Chains A and B, each alone.
Chain A
Amino acid sequence: MSTAVAQKKGFGAFIWDYLTTVDHKKIAHLYLVAGGLFFLVGGLEALMIRIQLIKPDNDFVSAGFYNELLTMHGTTMIFLAAMPLIFAILNAVVPLQIGARDVAFPFLNSLGFWLFLFGGLILNCGWFLGGAPDAGWTAYAPLSAVSPGHGVDFYVLGLQISGAGTLIGGINFLVTIINMRAPGMTYMRMPLFTWTALVTSTLILFAFPALTVGLFLLMFDRLFGAGFFNASMGGNSVIWEHLFWIFGHPEVYILILPAFGVFSDVLSTFSKKRLFGYTAMVFATTLIGFLGFMVWAHHMFATGLGPAANSIFAIATMAIAVPTGIKIFNWLFTLWGGTITINSAMLWALGFIPSFTIGGTTGVMLAAAAADYQYHDTYFVVAHFHYVIVGGVVFGLFAAMHYWWPKMFGKILNETLGQITFWTFFAGFHLTFFIQHFLGLMGMPRRYWTFLPGQHLDTGNLVSSIGAFFMAFGAIVFVINVIYTSVKAPKVSGDPWDGRTLEWSIPSPPPHYNFKQTPLVRGLDPLWIEKMEGRKGITPAEPLDDIHMPNPSILPFIMSLGLFIAGFGFIYQVDNLSYLWLVILGMGITLGCMLTRSVKDDLGHHIHKEDLEEEGAEQ
C-alpha cells in the first residue's frame, strides 16, 4: 500500500507521505531537515552575538535583545539542533546496523518527531510574540521565575513538549536495539555506533524526567502562582539548579556518546581495520554513561554546596577522564598501521581527536572545585563547552553526514566542497574559541552584553568574531554541497566505502522494508567477514517470505498539534482566563487522538513474497 503512495503523485501526495510516515528512514529525513534549519537559526544567533562583541562598547543589538539571542542560541543549539540531528542519524542508521526492518514503535517514532518540531516552534514563536526567552539556556530561578513578559513561558512549554518527544524517541531506540536485533547479532557484536545509541537512549530515559519536573515547577510558579522558587513563600531556587543539572549533565553525554560512536565506525572503516579494543570501547561507553549521572553538581561549585559535596563531585568528574582517555587511545590505535583513506568524513574524525582532547583537558581543569571559583561564569567555561560540543558533537554530526549520506540518499557528498567546509570550519572554530580561554582567564565574564575598552580584551574578541565568520562560511558551503550533490552527483552503489557493517549490505537508499531477508550475523563487522570469505552479500537467516510492515498514520501530527494549541492556552491564560478554552481544545484533540489510536486496530500490512521476487528481478 505505502509503496503505491511512494510513487510520485505530485507535491500534495509527497507532503502527505511525510506527514503520515512511520518509516524510520523518512523520519530521519524529517529530523535532518528540521534540525538543520534550527542549526542555521542558532548559527545566525551566534553570529549576531559575535558581531555585538566585535569591538568594545558596541551597540549593534540592545542589551535585552542580546539576552534573548544568547538564551535562544544555547537552547536552540542543544535542544533543537544537536538532539534532532543525532536522532536523524540514529533513525537512519541504527535499524540498518542491527539488521531490523523497522524500529520497535514506528508510530511513537513519528510522534516523537512531531512533538519535537511543535515544541521547537513554540520556543521560537517568542520572537514574534513580544520577546523570546531571555533567562539563559539554563533558565536559573529566580531570574526565570520572575522574568517579565511571556518569553520564559515559551521556553517552558516548548521544552516540555519537545522533551516528551525526546523521551519517546529514547524508549523507542532502547526497545529497538534490545528486541529487534537480527539472528546472531549479540550485544558484543553490535557496531559501536549502535552501542552508543543504546547507552544514549538509557541516559535519555533517566535524565529527561528530571527536566520534565523542573519545567513543571517553573510553569506552576510562573503561570499558576506556586512558590517553589519564590523565597518569600518559603521556596528555594537551588531546587531548580539541581533538577536542571541532574538532567543537564547527562544531556551533554547524550549528545557526545553518539558522536563517539560515529567516529569509531568512521575511523575503523577508513583505516580498513577492526576497531581497536572493541570490548574496552563498549566498557568505556557504559562507564561514561554511568558516571554521567554522578557529576551534575560540578556545574554548581560556586553555589555553595560546601567543601564535602564539592570534593565528591570534583573527584567523580575527574574520573570521567579515564574512560574518555581509553577511547582516545583506542581511536589512535585503530589508525595505527591501518590503510588510511583521507576524505571529508575522515577529516572530521581526525580533526575531532585533538579538538576534543583540548576540551577534555579544560574539563579536568574546571573539575578542580577550588580553581573553578576562578573560572566560573567566565569565557573559559564558554571556550570549554564549545570545544566539547562543537569539537565533539558538531564534528561528529558532520562526519556522520558525510559517511552515511550515500546510505540515506544514494549519493556521495561532493569531496572538494566537503574539504572546503572542513578546513574553513575547523580553522574558524579554533580561531573563535581558543582565544576565549584566555579572555576568560583575563576575567571576561560570560553572558555580558558589552565589554569596556582598554582592558586588553579588544584583540581577543576581534579574533574570536573573525573566526565565527569562517565557521559560518563553512556551514554555508555545506548547504551548497547538499544542494549541488542532490542535483548533480551520480547515484552510487550500496557500498561505496567498502564498509564493514550491515547497513552497507543493502541498496542505497534502502527499500522501505530494509532487508528482503533478515541477515544472519556471524561476528563483529558482519559484512567484512562475508567479504573476507569471498561472498558478495550477507548470508540470509530465513527464506524469502511475506514482510509485515506498519501502516502510516496522521495521528502523531494531530496529537502534537493539539499540544501546540494547548501550550498557547497555558501561556496566555495568565492574561485572560478565557484562553483556558484553548487548553481544553488542545488537550481534547490530543487525548482524542490517543483514544482513537487505542480503539482503532492497526495491524499493519504485508508486502507479498511475489512482489519482492519481482523487485529482485528488476535490480
Chain B
Amino acid sequence: MSDQTLNPETMPEQPERATLEGKNKFLGFWFFLGGETVLFASLFGTYLALRNSTNDGPGSEELFGLELVFVMTMLLLTSSLTSVYAMYHMKNNSFGKMQLWLGVTVLLGLGFLGCELFEFYHYIHGEGFTLRSSAFGSAFYTLVGFHGGHVTFGLLWIIALMVRNAKRGLNLYNAPKFYIASLYWHFIDVVWVFIFTVVYLMGVI
C-alpha cells in the first residue's frame, strides 16, 4: 500500500469504503452499533423497571428541570449536524473544512458534557440524590452516566484523530477512521433522543 494508492488526487465517492480495510471497519462498526443498541436497551429496561423505586428519596418529578435538558438536547443535536458537515467536506476532499467542523462538533460535545456534569453536581450536592440513594438513583446514574461515558470517549476519539492527522491531511487510510468516529457520534445522539424522551420528558409528565 504505497503513498500513491492512499493519497489519490481526488477522493473516490465513498472514501470510507475505498479499501478492504475501510470496508471491514465500516461494516464491523455498524455491527458494533447493533450490539450497542441491545446494551442501551438493557439499561433503559432497567431504568423503566426501577423509575418509581425512589425509596422515599427524591423522584423524577421533583428532580428534573427541563430547561437544562433542552439546552443539552440542542447542543447534541447541532453537534450531530456539524459532524455531517465534516463528512460532507471529507467527501469533497477539503481537509481544512472537515477539521473545522469536527472542531465545532467537539466544542458542542464539550458543552453538553459540561451541562451534564453541572446537572449531576447539582443533584448530588443540592438535592442529596446519589447512586446510593435508591434503586431509582442507581438506575438513573447508570443509564445517563453510560451515555455520558460514551460522549467522553467519543470526544477523546475525535480529538485524537484530529491531532494525529492535522499535519498529513486526508487519505484512504484515515478516511474510514474519521467516518466511523462520526457514526459513533450520531449513535450517541440516537441514544440521547431516547434519554430525553423516556427519562426526562416522561419523568416529569
Chain A–chain B contact at Cβ < 8 A: yes
Q: How far is the CA of A221 from the CA of B135 in the complex (A)?
A: 10
Q: How far is the CA of A172 from the CA of B29 in the complex (A)?
A: 10
Mark interface residues in A228-268 (1 if CB within 8 Å of B CB, else 0). Answer: 10101111100100110010000000000000000000000
Q: Which residues of A contact B83 (CB under 8 A)?
A: none
Q: How far is the CA of A224 from the CA of B142 in the complex (A)?
A: 12
A603 and B135 within 8 A (CB): no
Q: Which residues of A contact B132 (CB under 8 A)?
A: 224-227, 233
Q: How far is the CA of A299 from the CA of B135 in the complex (A)?
A: 25
Knowing A233-B53, A235-B50, the reply to whether A220 touches B131 (Cβ < 8 A) is yes
A243 and B42 within 8 A (CB): yes
Interface positions of A from 188 to 209, Cβ below 8 Å from B? 205-209
A601 and B138 within 8 A (CB): no
Interface positions of A from 173 to 196, Cβ below 8 Å from B? 174-175, 178-180
Q: Which residues of A contact B138 (CB under 8 A)?
A: 217, 220-221, 226-228, 233, 235
Q: Which residues of A contact B161 (CB under 8 A)?
A: 598
Q: How far is the CA of A206 from the CA of B40 in the complex (A)?
A: 12
Q: How far is the CA of A227 from the CA of B131 in the complex (A)?
A: 8
Q: Which of B31, B54, B134 is the most central at the interface, judged by chain A CB atoms within 10 Å of its CB?
A: B31
Stretch at the interface among B20-28, B74-82, B184-192: B20-28
B53 and A210 within 8 A (CB): no
Q: Which residues of B contact A208 (CB under 8 A)?
A: 35
Q: Which residues of B contact A480 (CB under 8 A)?
A: none
User: Within 8 Å of chain A (Cβ to Cβ): is B34?
Assistant: yes
Q: How far is the CA of A235 from the CA of B46 in the complex (A)?
A: 10
User: Within 8 Å of chain A (Cβ to Cβ): is B179?
Assistant: no
User: Within 8 Å of chain B (Cβ to Cβ): is A167?
Assistant: yes
Mark interface residues in B39-66 (1 if CB within 8 Å of A CB, else 0). Answer: 1001101100110111100000000000
Name the distance in Å between B153's Cβ and chain A's nearest Cβ.
9
Q: Which residues of B contact A225 (CB under 8 A)?
A: 131-132
Cross-chain contact of A205 among B35, B45, B54, B134 (Cβ < 8 A):
B35
Cross-chain contact of A234 among B46, B136, B177 (Cβ < 8 A):
B136
**Residue ID in chain B nearest A603 by CB atoms:** B1
Q: Which residues of B contact A453 (CB under 8 A)?
A: none
Knowing A220-B142, A598-B161, the reply to whether A179 touches B134 (Cβ < 8 A) is no
Q: Which residues of A contact B117 (CB under 8 A)?
A: none
**Residue ID in chain B nearest A174 by CB atoms:** B31
Q: Which residues of B contact A308 (CB under 8 A)?
A: none
Mark interface residues in A156-172 (1 if CB within 8 Å of B CB, else 0). Answer: 00000000000100011
Q: How far is the CA of A224 from the CA of B133 in the complex (A)?
A: 12
Q: Which residues of A contact B34 (CB under 8 A)?
A: 205-206
Cross-chain contact of A548 among B1, B42, B43, B157 (Cβ < 8 A):
B1
User: Within 8 Å of chain A (Cβ to Cβ): is B193?
Assistant: no
A105 and B24 within 8 A (CB): yes
Name the distance in Å between B84's Cβ and chain A's nearest Cβ.
23
Q: How far is the CA of A220 from the CA of B1 in the complex (A)?
A: 47
Q: How far is the CA of A280 from the CA of B131 in the complex (A)?
A: 51
**Residue ID in chain A nearest B143 by CB atoms:** A213
Q: How far is the CA of A179 from the CA of B23 in the complex (A)?
A: 8
Q: How far is the CA of A208 from the CA of B55 in the complex (A)?
A: 31
Q: How far is the CA of A552 from the CA of B83 in the complex (A)?
A: 34
A-B contact count (CB 8 A): 123
| Chain A binding surface, main DSSP class | helix
A601 and B173 within 8 A (CB): yes
Name the distance in Å between B203's Cβ and chain A's nearest Cβ.
16
User: Within 8 Å of chain A (Cβ to Cβ): is B164?
Assistant: yes
Q: Which residues of A contact B50 (CB under 8 A)?
A: 228, 234-236, 239
B28 and A104 within 8 A (CB): yes
B137 and A599 within 8 A (CB): no
Q: Which residues of B contact A221 (CB under 8 A)?
A: 138
A171 and B36 within 8 A (CB): no
Cross-chain contact of B142 among A206, A226, A242, A603 (Cβ < 8 A):
A226
Q: How far is the CA of A224 from the CA of B141 in the complex (A)?
A: 12
Name the distance in Å between B27's Cβ and chain A's nearest Cβ.
5
User: Within 8 Å of chain A (Cβ to Cβ): is B38?
Assistant: yes
Name the distance in Å between A223's Cβ and chain B's nearest Cβ.
11
Q: Which residues of B contact A207 (CB under 8 A)?
A: 38
B35 and A228 within 8 A (CB): no
**Residue ID in chain B nearest A226 by CB atoms:** B138
Q: Which residues of A contact B135 (CB under 8 A)?
A: 227-228, 230, 233-236
User: Within 8 Å of chain B (Cβ to Cβ): is A595?
Assistant: yes
User: Within 8 Å of chain A (Cβ to Cβ): is B72?
Assistant: no
User: Within 8 Å of chain B (Cβ to Cβ): is A604?
Assistant: yes
Q: Which residues of B contact A226 (CB under 8 A)?
A: 131-132, 137-138, 142
Cross-chain contact of B28 among A105, A236, A239 (Cβ < 8 A):
A105
**Residue ID in chain B nearest A216 by CB atoms:** B142
User: Within 8 Å of chain B (Cβ to Cβ): is A378?
Assistant: no
Name the distance in Å between B30's Cβ and chain A's nearest Cβ.
10
User: Within 8 Å of chain B (Cβ to Cβ): is A553?
Assistant: no
Q: How far is the CA of A604 from the CA of B5 in the complex (A)?
A: 14
User: Within 8 Å of chain B (Cβ to Cβ): is A119?
Assistant: no
Q: How far is the CA of A603 from the CA of B134 in the complex (A)?
A: 51
**Residue ID in chain B nearest A229 by CB atoms:** B135
Name the distance in Å between A398's Cβ and chain B's nearest Cβ.
31
**Residue ID in chain B nearest A207 by CB atoms:** B38
Cross-chain contact of A228 among B55, B139, B157, B177 (Cβ < 8 A):
B139
User: Within 8 Å of chain B (Cβ to Cβ): is A286?
Assistant: no
Q: Which of B24, B45, B52 is the most central at the interface, judged by chain A CB atoms within 10 Å of its CB?
A: B24
Instruction: In the A-B complex, list the 4 residue pairs whose CB atoms are closest, starting with the nearest.
Output: A234-B53, A226-B138, A209-B39, A213-B42
26 pairs, CB–CB < 8 Å, chain A vs chain B: A174-B27, A178-B27, A179-B23, A179-B24, A205-B34, A209-B35, A210-B39, A214-B42, A217-B46, A217-B138, A220-B131, A224-B132, A225-B131, A226-B137, A226-B138, A227-B55, A227-B132, A233-B132, A234-B50, A234-B55, A235-B53, A236-B50, A236-B135, A243-B42, A243-B46, A598-B157
Q: Which residues of B contact A (CB under 8 A)?
A: 1, 20, 23-24, 27-28, 31-32, 34-36, 38-39, 42-43, 45-46, 49-50, 52-55, 131-132, 134-139, 142, 157, 160-161, 164, 173, 177
Extra contacts, 12 of them, besides A104-B24, A234-B135 (Cβ < 8 A), are A175-B28, A206-B34, A217-B138, A220-B138, A220-B142, A226-B142, A234-B52, A234-B53, A234-B55, A236-B53, A243-B46, A603-B1
